Amino acid sequence: MIRWRQGVVREVLAGWPGVVPVSVEITPGDGTTVPALAYVDVVGTPEAGDRVLLNTTALDRGLGTGGYAVVTAIPDRPSAWPAGWAVDPDAPGHLVKARYSPLQTMVLGVDDPEGEHHAVLEAADSIDGMPVVAADLHSSLPAIVAGVRLAAEQEGREAPTVAYVMTDGGALPLAFSRSVATLRDAGWLSATVTCGQAYGGDLEAVTVHTALLAARHVIKADLAVVVQGPGNLGTGTRWGFSGVAAGEALNAAAVLGGRPVAALRVSQADPRGRHRGLSHHSATAYGRVLTRPADLVVPVPGPGTALELRACLDQVHRQAGALVATASHLRLVEVATDGLLERLRDTPVRLSTMGRGLDEDTAAFLAAAAAGSHAVRISPSPRLG
């Protein structure tokens, strides 16, 4: 079910690229407002005084939209609507995302026959050994890229071209991620590709396969990072978690001739036992869903590592070793953590996973950063080699 409301925009708030937050009065005259997000490329740009239609489903249940309703239409002011299909039904592109839902949107796919890259994607069938790092939580993304950049510096290489491929296990609009906006502004991400039902990237793809091919042949990426958007879905069961698709992403990378790199989900502070040390979701994604050869990256603590952190990483190493012993397609790769913590403290994005910051759950971010570091070291790219 969808809970629909309408109201009047009373204030336009500070936003970020692609998103305009607004304060909306739902009951006329009573002064009570709710915060709402407007995705400008989908519904347009609201102004104070506009009547707007809202989807309040998750807000009313206190679920994962960060406390926001979502603007679904600015019906009375066509000048606010975005360019493209909203005003021109003959605009190029025929990929529908969020298909057959009340909020479906039309985009131009990177391999659309009307697009400039169709011929390139029609011929492409390999990503030429490009490393592909997969993780199951969106919060891993800045840490992975931090590890990428540190490894490049340590080896005297240029900063790599990094493409972010966002799958549809979490948020569908890429614009919802302030982390991605900040990483783009800082130059840490070169380009984005949204695939499946996700939308809003620099390039739009139907599948993760097409997204990886676009990353390599259109973006000319040195490596790609594949992670779902913010707001993962889980039921507390072995298979009922959207991040399990990380294994499917690495299968795709292998099929296309890439170098799959598995970033482990670990924690030293999660109160749930199934996520302490090596998360059971990583064990399922990489031990059961993933069937192609891949590198399973384990961070190794250096001298001076805090005792609690060392104990967690030692536990992860044992658990990863046990996983590799039962999954012959996995190769355990140890990566030293020298310099990683310092680089993580210098990321342009505030690191947070499941509400815990870098100091509260250091192991989580070190594991992700180690995977990024390893990806640089195995890259065949001339820029990195």
Q: pLDDT value at position 84? A: 59
Amino acid at 349: V
Note whether 205 and 275 are same-domain residues.
Answer: yes
Q: pLDDT value at position 101? A: 87
CATH of the domain at 266: 3.40.50
Q: pLDDT value at position 197? A: 96
Does residue 110 form part of some domain?
Answer: no
pLDDT above 90: residue 48: yes
| pLDDT, tens only, 351-382 | 998 889 899 999 999 999 999 999 999 998 76
Task: Please give the structure tokens belonging to residue 325.
Answer: 């012993």
Q: pLDDT value at position 272? A: 78
Neighbouring residues of 273: CB distance < 8 A, sequence distance ≥ 6: none
Q: pLDDT value at position 64? A: 62
Among the ranges given (101-115, 224-238, 264-278, 356-370), the one the predictor scored with the smallest mean pLDDT: 264-278
Q: pLDDT value at position 19? A: 96
Q: Count structural domains, the chain.
A: 2
Of the pLDDT bands very low, low, confident and very high (cuts 50, 70, 90), residue 234 is: confident
The neighbour count for residue 48, using CB atoms within 10 Å, is: 11
User: Which of 17, 49, 80 is the C-terminal boundary of a domain?
Assistant: 80
The neighbour count for residue 214, using CB atoms within 10 Å, is: 30
Does residue 312 form part of some domain?
Answer: yes
Tell me the C-alpha distance between 156 and 80, whole Å. Answer: 48
Note whether 235 and 322 are same-domain residues.
Answer: yes
Of the pLDDT bands very low, low, confident and very high (cuts 50, 70, 90), residue 72 is: very high
User: Which of 17, 52, 80 is the C-terminal boundary of a domain?
Assistant: 80
Does residue 92 form part of some domain?
Answer: no
| pLDDT, tens only, 196-207 | 999 999 999 999
Note whether 294 and 215 are same-domain residues.
Answer: yes
Q: pLDDT value at position 102? A: 85
Beta strands in 59-198 (DSSP E): 69-73, 95-97, 105-107, 131-134, 162-167, 191-194
The closest alpha carbon to 52, from 41, 62, 38, belongs to: 38
At residue 126, the 3 state secondary structure works out as coil
CATH of the domain at 28: 2.40.50.220
pLDDT above 90: residue 243: no
Q: pLDDT value at position 66? A: 66
Does residue 102 form part of some domain?
Answer: no
Q: pLDDT value at position 88? A: 63
Does residue 114 form part of some domain?
Answer: no
Q: Which is higher by pLDDT, 135 or 65?
A: 135
pTM for the whole structure:
0.93
pLDDT above 60: residue 250: yes
Of the pLDDT bands very low, low, confident and very high (cuts 50, 70, 90), residue 106 is: confident
Neighbouring residues of 73: CB distance < 8 A, sequence distance ≥ 6: 43, 52, 53
Neighbouring residues of 245: CB distance < 8 A, sequence distance ≥ 6: 136, 167, 169, 228, 285, 289
| pLDDT, tens only, 253-312 | 999 999 999 999 999 887 776 667 899 899 999 999 999 999 999 999 988 889 999 999
| pLDDT, tens only, 73-95 | 999 999 999 875 455 666 777 78
Note whether 142 and 210 are same-domain residues.
Answer: yes
Chain-centroid distance, C-alpha 199: 12
DSSP for 256-305 reads TT-EEEEEPPEESS-SSGGGSEE-HHHHHIIIII--S-EEEEEEE--TT-
Note whether 169 and 222 are same-domain residues.
Answer: yes
pLDDT above 90: residue 110: yes
Range of the domain at 10: 4-80
What is the number of alpha carbons within 13 Å of residue 363 lying toward its C-beta?
27
Contact in structure between 282 and 245 (CB atoms under 8 Å): no
* Mean pLDDT of the chain, nearest integer: 92
Q: pLDDT value at position 235? A: 78
User: Which of 80, 104, 132 is the C-terminal boundary of a domain?
Assistant: 80
Tell me the C-alpha distance between 218 and 206, whole Å. Answer: 15
Note whether 18 and 158 are same-domain residues.
Answer: no
Q: Which is higher by pLDDT, 102 or 257?
A: 257
